[in-house]
Amino acid sequence: MGIQLFKASFDVEACLVQVRECLEKGWTGMGFKTVEFEEAWKKYTGHKYAYYINSNTAGLYMAVDTLKEFYGWEDGDEVISTPLTFISTNHAISKSNLRAVFADVDDTLCLAPKSVEEHITDKTRAVIFVGFGGNTGNFKKIVKLCKDYGLKLILDAAHMSGTRYKDGGCPGTDGDADITVYSFQAVKNLPTGDSGVICTDSAKLDEIFRKKAWLGISKDTYTRTVDKGGTYKWKYDVEYIGDKYNGNAIMAGIALAQLPYLDRDNAYRRTLAQWYTEVFSKYPEQIGLVKISSDCVSSRHLFQIFVKDRDGLMMYLNSNEVYPGVHYVANTDYCMYDYAKGTCPKADFVSKHVISLPMHMGVTFEDVQYITRLVVKYVMEIRSGESYKE
Ligand X SMILES: *Cc1c(COP(=O)(O)O)cnc(C)c1O
- Contact set with ligand X (CB under 6 A): 55-57, 85-86, 88-89, 130, 156, 158-159, 183, 185, 196
Nearest-approach distance from CB 215 to ligand X, in angstroms: 20
At its nearest, how many Å lie between ligand X and the CB of residue 301?
A: 8
**SS3 track for 105-138:** ECCCCCECHHHHHHCCCCCEEEEEEECHHHCCCC
CB of 255 to ligand X, least distance (A): 12
Report, in Å, the least distance between residue 179 CB and ligand X: 13
CB of 183 to ligand X, least distance (A): 3
Between 102 and 280, whose beta carbon lies closer to ligand X?
102
Question: Which neighbouring-strand residues pair with 289?
Answer: 305
Closer CB to ligand X, 56 or 115, in the complex? 56
Closest approach, Cβ 109 to ligand X, in A, equals: 11
Q: How open is the CA angle 105-110-37, to the nearest 5 degrees?
A: 155
Q: Say if residues 18 and 254 touch (Cβ distance below 8 Å).
A: yes
Strands, sheet with 288-289, edge to edge from the N-terminal-most edge strand: 288-289, 303-306, 354-357
Instruction: Check: CB of residue 136 under 8 Å from CB of residue 293.
Output: yes
130 vs 350 by CB, closer to ligand X? 130
Q: Which is nearer to ligand X, 209 or 388 (CB)?
A: 209
CA gap 275, 155 in Å, rounded = 29
Amino acid at 253: G
CB 24, CB 126: distance < 8 Å: no
CB 331 to ligand X: min, Å = 11
Comparing CB distances to ligand X, the nearer of 62 and 314 is 62
> What is the residue-wise DSSP string for 151-176?
-EEEEE-TT-TT-EETTSPPTTTTTT
Cis peptide before 276 (omega within 30 of 0): no
Q: How far is the CB of 119 from ligand X (least distance, A)?
A: 20
Nearer to ligand X, 91 or 308 (CB): 91
The whole-angstrom separation of Cα 323 and Cα 271 is: 20
Q: How far, in Å, CA of 74 to CA of 16, rounded?
A: 47
Q: Report whether 112 contacts 80 (CB < 8 A).
A: no
* CB closer to ligand X, 93 vs 374: 93
- For ligand X, give the closer residue by CB, 315 or 336: 336
